[in-house]
Structure 1
Amino acid sequence: MLENREGQKVPNVVFRARKDGEWVDVSTDQLFKGKTVIVFSLPGAFTPTCSSTHLPGYNEYAKVFKANGVDDILCVSVNDTFVMNAWAESQEADNITLIPDGNGEFTDGMGMLVDKNDLGFGKRSWRYSMLVKDGTIEKMFIEPEKPGDPFEVSDAQTMLEYINAEARHPKRVTLFTKPGCPYCAKAKDMLESHDMDYEEISLNGNGVSTRTLLAVSGASTTPQVFIDGMLVGGSDDLEAYFQKQTAQVG
């Protein structure tokens, strides 16, 4: 039975990490003392749910968390620092600090070290998340103990609901662009001025062509902007979208 450790201190551990080609020691005091910190822990870097949903979700929600009093967001996994650094680079998770619990000391101290021998993983972390204030665990969300790799309660949305149920969730923005396109630059400026993060997909990069753009948007010109899965359109359409949003608020 995995223990909920709300009200307890986090384990006192020193993590061995690599930064700028040098070994560095990172203590739990450095990570937690005097701070409000979200921690989410998962079975392994580069694994499907961890890479497609768990880590990207917290990265996407980072600005909202910080607007609601969170100082840092940590991702802990029983992987060595080289693996965690490579994963961070591949995920472009700039808003998350990845912590290599290579020896499993922190995870064991949390009572979350479990056998994943059936997958050939050895000892790994059970999936969970927690809110930690000045080193004391205020809230834990532990995935249910059932076969497989359940992912039901340790996600970013659940954590945000706990911290502030009234907080506005970030919008998901995808922007199709073309190199040298001035209207694309205008659209990006508008999104940035409204503090909206976006995924940029450049035509003729990674196999994305004008035909691809036509298939998903019905248009072949750039930019084409999607917000929460809905097509907004080009830069003029995006400007009209923001004007409408401003009018509704007013």
Structure 2
Amino acid sequence: MALPNREGQSVPNVTFPTRQNNQWVNVTTDEIFKGKTVVVFSLPGAFTPTCSSTHLPRYNELAPVFFENGVDEIVCMSVNDTFVMNEWAADQEADNVRLIPDGNGEFSEGMGMLVNKEDLGFGMRSWRYSMLVKDGVIEKMFIEPEVPGDPFEVSDADTMLSYINPNAKHPSVATVFSKDGCPFCAKAKSMLEDANIHYEEIKVSHSGVTSRTLRAVANAGTVPQIFIDGEYVGGSEELEAYLAKK
């Protein structure tokens, strides 16, 4: 039987028991959705490979663009208990996403998305999908195709953002290899900040990421070495020239 597309219908009325600051707090669907524009993506389980490596991090990364385009909140839903979801949130890049534990599967069942994954030892879990909800009413759903395994083709963050605004500009992201006390590294980070480019910083030291690692990645032994959107830029001077062309 085909999974239902519930566009134009209201989300199920459910209360989620959550654990916040060592206290039990009941969160209702009214509190999540009423009077707000919310993007929801639901997945089979916390800590599972696709969910951790791609699905959640990309929604978190694109969250500022979603917010600029009228979305009030991004919610990740999974049939896991609140303790598992809290641990997953702490383990993931999820500062911009609200993780909701559908521990009893009530929301997923009400959506018609509760599926049997006993073959994986999971029991009943949510099928992977995403949706745009406005004031509790589902405007758009992206449901993964019903094929064996765990397809991940249409419920991703980029597809949802393209639906909301096809012309939305995706933010650039950078990786900076640096060392403590390096003035050129400080200059490079300052330039990235001025250009409103978010970056992660990887410290090069005698342990962990070493100069040998840096040579393998960037074919260079000096810092900083900068990559933007996966493209190798170079050091601080090359970064300055790169940004001047933007």
TM-score range, shorter chain: over 0.9
Output one character per residue of 1:44-72: Cα deviation in whole Å (capped at 9) or x when no partner. Answer: 00000101111111111111111111111
Question: Structure 1 residues 18 and 193 mapped into 2: Cα distance closer, same or farther (>3 Å)?
Answer: farther
Letter paired with 2:149? G
Alignment match, 1:209: 210
Percent sequence identity over aligned pairs: 70
TM-score (norm 2): 0.95
Q: What is the match of residue 108 of structure 2?
A: 107
1:95 is aligned with what amino acid? N
Give the TM-score, by structure 1 length. Answer: 0.94
Query: What amino acid is the match of 1:219?
Result: A
Q: Does 1:77 align with 2:83?
A: no
Q: Deviations over 1:95-154 (max 9, x none)?
A: 111111111111111110000000000010000000011111000000011100000100
How many Å separate the matches in 2 of 1:224 and 1:66? 31
Q: Deviations over 1:168-220 (max 9, x none)?
A: 12223211122232322222222223222222222138721011111111211
Q: Distance in 2 between matches of 1:118 and 1:200?
A: 41
Contact 2:57 2:93 in 1 (8 A): no
Q: Which runs of 5+ in 2 are unaligned?
A: none
CA distance in 2, matches of 1:92, 1:167: 22
Of 83-92 and 141-150, the range deviating more from structure 2 = 83-92
1:129-168 correspondence runs (5 A): 129-168=130-169
SS in 2 for 1:131: strand
Report the alpha carbon displacement of residue 223 of structure 1 after superposing the two structures with TM: 1.5
Unaligned runs of 5+ in 1: 246-250
Given the superposition, is the C-alpha separation of residues 67 and 206 from structure 1 closer, same or farther in structure 2, using an over 3 Å criterion? farther
* Paired AA for residue 134 in structure 1: D
Q: Could you give the per-residue CA deviations for residues 76-109 of structure 1, whole angstroms, max 9, x where no partner exists? A: 0000111111111111311111111111111111
SS of the residue corresponding to residue 198 of structure 1 reads strand
- In the alignment, what sits opposite 1:226? 227
The residue type equivalent to 2:8 in the other structure is G
Aligned partners of 1:231, 1:132: CA distance in 2, in Å?
Answer: 39
Give 1:26-175 correspondences, 5 Å limit: 26-175=27-176
Give the equivalent residue in structure 2 for 1:248: none
Q: Distance in 2 between matches of 1:183 and 1:12?
A: 55
Bigger drift between 190-199 and 76-85 goes to 190-199
Q: Give the whole-Å Cα distance in 2 for the aligned partners of 1:156 and 1:231.
A: 25
CA contact (8 A) 2:60 2:97 kept: yes
Count of aligned positions: 245
- Structure 1 consecutive aligned stretches of length 4 or more whose deviation exceeds 4 Å: none
Distance across 1 between alignment mates of 2:60 and 2:207: 23
Cα gap change, 1:205 to 1:69, in 2 (>3 Å): farther
Q: CA RMSD in A?
A: 1.4
Which range is displaced more, 228-237 or 43-52?
Answer: 228-237
2: CA distance, partners of 1:189 / 1:18: 39
